[in-house]
Amino acid sequence: MSCCAPGTEMALEAEQAREAGPRAEELVLASRSVGDGLKQTDLSVPGVHCGACIQTIETALGRLDGVAGARVNLSTKRVSVKWREGALPPIVDTLNRLGYAAHLFDSVETGRDPVLSQLIRAVAVSGFAAGNIMLLSVSVWSGAEQATRDLFHWLSALIALPALVFAGGVFYRSALNALRHGRMNMDVPIALGISLAYGLSLYETINSGQHAYFDASVSLLFFLLIGRTLDHVMRERARTAVKGLARLAPRGALVIAADGGRDYLPLQEIAAGMKLVVAAGERVPVDGIVMSGSSELDCSMATGESAPQPVKPGSDLRAGMLNLTQPLIVEATATADTSFLAEMMRLMEAAEGGRARYRRLADRASALYSPVVHAAAFLTFLGWMAASGDWHRAITIAIAVLIITCPCALGLAVPIVQVVAARRLFENGIMVKDGAAMERLAEIDTAVFDKTGTLTLGIPELRNADEIPPQALATAASLAAHSRHPFSRAVLRAAGSLRAADAFDSVEEIPGLGIEARAGETVWRLGRAGWSLGSQHENHAGGTVFSRNGEEYATFRFEDRLRPGAKETIAHLKENGVAVEIISGDSADQVKDIAARLGVEKFQASVLPGDKLERMRALASEGRRVLMVGDGLNDAPALAAAHVSMAPATAADIGRNAADFVFLRENMLAVPLARDVSRRAGRLIRQNFALAIAYNFIAVPIAVLGHVTPLVAAIAMSLSSLIVIGNALRLRTDRRLAVGTEAPESAGNNARPFVEAAA
C-alpha cells in the first residue's frame, strides 16, 4: 500500500511524465509538414547553455535514422528537428540520454520569465552573503588573531556554504548534469573554481590558517551571477521582436457553431473553416476571410501601413491584425500553427539560429574550450608548484585561470549579432529565413530583378492625364466606375474627385474589348482603339481610346506603376559597385521602357523560367555572387539557384518559400536596407571575434603569471561578455540603417532621394 496520498501520487506522476517528456503521439500531432516528405518538431530544451551544448545535441540527433537535420537556437533554448515522414525517430529519448529534459515548444508562451526570477534571487542571496562575510573579514584584516580570527572564519564559512548551495545552484546543476552524462559545458570550470576557492578557505580555517578567502569565493559567485543575469537580460531585450509577435496572438477566439451557438475555444483548437467572431478592439486570431460586417483594421504589423485599412465581406485578414471599429464574422483559412503570424515568428527564430560560417566557427571553438581550459589550469598549477613549492598560491592562480578563460564572449560573438540584426530588419518589414542569408547578402556583387510585381507593382497608371481635357476625363471616369478592369481603376485614380454626372441609360462591359454606355442617341466607348473607333481604325497608334459615336474623344496611355523606392534602390546598388540586370518574361518594349526609366543598361525580355535559371548559373560560373529579386511562379527556380534571394510578400507561395528574405512593405528600399544591415552585422561579428580573441590573448597570460585573483578573473570574464553584447546592440541604434530617417551606408550623392522616397 502506498504511503503517499492520492493527490501526492498524481503530482509525482505528473512530474515524472514531465521529466520523461512528451509521448510519441503528442510529438506527431504537434509536428508540421515542411514539404519534401519531411516533418518538423519543435522542442523546448531549457538545459541548453553554450556552444558545447549545441554541438552535442545537433550531432546526436543528426545521427538518428530518419532525421534530416537538427538545429538548436540558443536564444530561445529550442531544438527544431526535421525528420522523414513514417516512423518517428527517438528524439526525446536521445535528449534525455544526453541529460537535456525536453517538452513541446509553445510559440505563444508569455508571462513572467522564470529564469530571470531565479537569477535575481541568486544574485540577492550571494550579494547579501558577500556583504556580511566582508564585514567579518574587515575584523580579521584589522588585526584579529587566533581564537577570534578562527571564530570569524568559521562564521564566514557557515554563511558562505548555504549561499554557495542556493545561489551557486545555477552553475552546479548545469555542471553536474553535464558531467553525469559524460560531457562538458561552460559551467563546469565555473563550478570547479567556486568550489576550489571555498574548499581552500575551509582547509585554512580547519588548520587555523591566517588567511581564508570566503569573501572572495562568495564575491566571485556574486559577480559571476551579475554577469549571467545581465547577459540573460540583454539577450531577452534583443529578442523582444519575437516576444512582441507572440503577444499579438490572442489566447483563443469566439467560434460560431453549426447550430448558431457560440463557444470560446483556445487558439490551438481553431481549425480552417470555422466561423469566428472578431469584436472591435480584438486581434484577428488566425488568417481568414471576412464573411459579414465592415470595419477598419490596423494592419501595420503585416504591411507597415499605419493608416487604418477598410475591410468588407471578401477581404483577406491576417493573424495579428487589430480590428478597430466594428465586429466581424470571419471564416478561418488557417490554423494557429500555419497562420501568417506563426510564419513570421518561425522566420525570426530561423534568422536567429542560422549557421553562418562565423557561427559554425564560434561553435566549434566554444565546444573545444573545456579540455583546453582545464589543461591550462592544471599546467599552471604544476608550473607554480615547481617554481615556488607553494601549493596554496598555485591552486589560487589555477582557479583564476579556470574562471578567466571561459569563452562566453566567443560563444556570444555571432548569435547576439544575428538576433539584433533580425530584429532590426523585422522592424522595417523584412523577414529573414536564415541567419546565414545575411552573410551571403553582404557578399553580393550582382543584383538581378524581375519586372512585373517586383520593380513594378503590376498596377497601371495613366501617363498622359495632363493632356486630357477635364471634361473628357470626368466623363471617362463616370464610365470607368462601372468596371473592375485595371485600366478603368487607373482612370478613376487619375480623375480623383473629378466626375461627371452619371446620366447613362445603360452600361455594358464587353470582355476583351472595353465598356460601352448609351445616353439617348449617344454611344460612349472606352477600350481598344479598333473597337471604340471601328474596325477601320485597328492600326490606331494610341492606347485605350475613349470615343463618342465612333469619334475619338480622348486617348489614354498607361504605364506600369513603379514600386516605390525602385529608382533609388537601383541607384544605390550601382553606386556601391553592384551590377544590376533586369530579366523578365514581358515583351521587349515593356522591359526596355522600365529599364530606361530606372537607368538599367543590361536587360533581357521574353525569357522563360528555364532561361532565368540558366542566367543564374552562368553568372555563378563567372564567379559572381548574385542577389535575385522576384515574385512569380516562374521566378522560383532562379530564386533557389541564386547566391541569395528576396521576394515581396505579395509573391506567389512558391516564390516566398524559395526566397531567403521576404519584405512585407511595398517599398523597394528593403533591398539596400537589408544589404546594409547585413554588411554592418558582418563587421560587428568580426569586431566581436577580435574583442573575444584580444581578451583571451591579454587576460590568460596575466592570469597564468599570477597577477589576477579569482575575484578579478570573474569580473573580467563577465565584462568581456557584456562588451561583446553591447557592441552587437549598436546595430539597434545605427540611424544610418533606418528606412525613412537616414540614408543607408555609403549612399553618397543618392542620400537625399533615398530618404525622400523612404519617407
**pLDDT of the residue at 243:** 56
- Which of these ranges, 248-257, 272-281, 379-388, has the smallest mean pLDDT? 248-257
**pLDDT of the residue at 579:** 92
How many CB atoms within 10 Å of residue 383?
15
- More confident site: 244 or 265: 265
**pLDDT of the residue at 740:** 41
Mean pLDDT, rounded, for 25-52: 73
555-to-458, 517, 530 alpha-carbon distances in Å: 21, 17, 13
- Which of these ranges, 17-26, 36-45, 334-343, 402-411, has the smallest mean pLDDT? 17-26
| Mean pLDDT, the chain, whole residue set | 75
**pLDDT of the residue at 569:** 92
HSE toward the beta carbon, residue 681, CA cutoff 13 A: 33
The 3-state DSSP class for residue 661 equals strand
Percent of the chain at pLDDT > 70 equals 74
Residue with cell 548555504: 162
**Is residue 651 left, alpha or beta, with left meaning phi > 0 and alpha meaning psi from -120 to 50?**
beta
Q: How confident is the model at residue 570 (pLDDT cuts 50, 70, 90)?
A: very high
Round the CA-based radius of gyration of the chain to a whole number and report it: 33
List strands edge to edge, sheet with 316-317: 262-266, 252-256, 275-278, 328-332, 288-292, 316-317
Which residues fall within 8 angstroms of residue 731, CB to CB, at 6 or more apart? 417, 420, 421, 424, 677, 680, 681, 684, 737
Residue 165 pLDDT exceeds 90: no
Percent of the chain at pLDDT > 90 equals 4
HSE toward the beta carbon, residue 132, CA cutoff 13 A: 17
- More confident site: 611 or 124: 124
Question: How many residues in the chain?
Answer: 759
**pLDDT of the residue at 212:** 66
Which residues fall within 8 angstroms of residue 226, CB to CB, at 6 or more apart? 123, 718
Dump pLDDT digits (tens) for 189-211.
778 777 877 887 787 778 776 66
**pLDDT of the residue at 452:** 76
List strands edge to edge, sheet with 579-583: 430-432, 661-663, 644-648, 626-629, 446-449, 579-583, 602-604
Round to whole Å and give the CA distance between 655 and 610.
15
- Which of these ranges, 46-50, 138-142, 371-375, 376-380, has the smallest mean pLDDT? 138-142
Mean pLDDT, rounded, for 690-706: 83
Question: Is the model's pTM score more than 0.75?
Answer: no
HSE toward the beta carbon, residue 518, CA cutoff 13 A: 5
Which letter, b or e, does each residue of 237-250 get, where b requires 16 or more Cβ atoms within 10 Å of its Cβ?
A: ebbebbbebeebbb
Which residues fall within 8 angstroms of residue 104, CB to CB, at 6 or more apart? 22, 26, 27, 30, 42, 43, 44
Residue 350 pLDDT exceeds 90: no
Q: How confident is the model at residue 590 (pLDDT cuts 50, 70, 90)?
A: confident
Residue 222 pLDDT exceeds 90: no
Burial of 23 (0-12, 13-18, 19+ CB in 10 A): exposed
**pLDDT of the residue at 323:** 83
- More confident site: 483 or 7: 483
Burial of 285 (0-12, 13-18, 19+ CB in 10 A): buried
What are the cell numbers at 90?
A: 527517438
How many CB atoms within 10 Å of residue 705?
11
**pLDDT of the residue at 609:** 67
Beta partners for residue 82, in sequence order: 40, 69
Are 721 and 409 in contact by the 8 Å Cβ rule? The answer is yes
Task: Sketch out the chain's domains with CATH numbers.
Answer: 6-104 (3.30.70.100), 112-238 (no CATH), 252-338 (2.70.150.10), 340-427+676-738 (no CATH), 429-458+562-669 (3.40.50.1000), 464-556 (3.40.1110.10)
Residue 155's closest CA among 169, 144, 167?
Answer: 144
Which residues fall within 8 angstroms of residue 101, CB to CB, at 6 or more apart? 18, 19, 21, 45, 46, 47, 95
Residue 705 pLDDT exceeds 90: no
Round to whole Å and give the CA distance between 721 and 406.
10
Strands 295-298, 309-311: pairing kind:
antiparallel
How many CB atoms within 10 Å of residue 8?
11
- Which of these ranges, 255-259, 555-559, 625-629, 753-757, has the smallest mean pLDDT? 753-757
Round to whole Å and give the CA distance between 273 and 289.
10
**pLDDT of the residue at 411:** 63
**pLDDT of the residue at 14:** 41
Are 342 and 319 in contact by the 8 Å Cβ rule? The answer is yes
Dump pLDDT digits (tens) for 488-515.
888 888 888 777 666 788 888 887 678 8
Question: Residue 450 catalytic?
Answer: yes
Which residues fall within 8 angstroms of residue 135, CB to CB, at 6 or more apart? none
Catalytic pick among 287, 363, 434, 450: 450
Beta partners for residue 202, in sequence order: none
Q: How confident is the model at residue 537 (pLDDT cuts 50, 70, 90)?
A: low
Are 168 and 221 in contact by the 8 Å Cβ rule? The answer is yes
For helices 566-575 and 751-758, angle between their N-to-C axes, nearest 10 degrees: 150
Dump pLDDT digits (tens) for 438-494.
888 888 999 999 887 788 877 788 888 888 888 888 888 888 888 877 788 888 888
Mean pLDDT, rounded, for 256-281: 80
Residue 221 pLDDT exceeds 60: yes
Residue 424's closest CA among 18, 733, 123, 135?
Answer: 733
The 3-state DSSP class for residue 558 equals strand
- More confident site: 609 or 755: 609
**pLDDT of the residue at 9:** 40
- More confident site: 586 or 112: 586
Residue 425's closest CA among 170, 739, 638?
Answer: 739
- Which of these ranges, 463-477, 636-650, 662-676, has the smallest mean pLDDT? 636-650
**pLDDT of the residue at 5:** 39
Amino acid (1-letter code) at residue 98: L
Mean pLDDT, rounded, for 633-652: 77
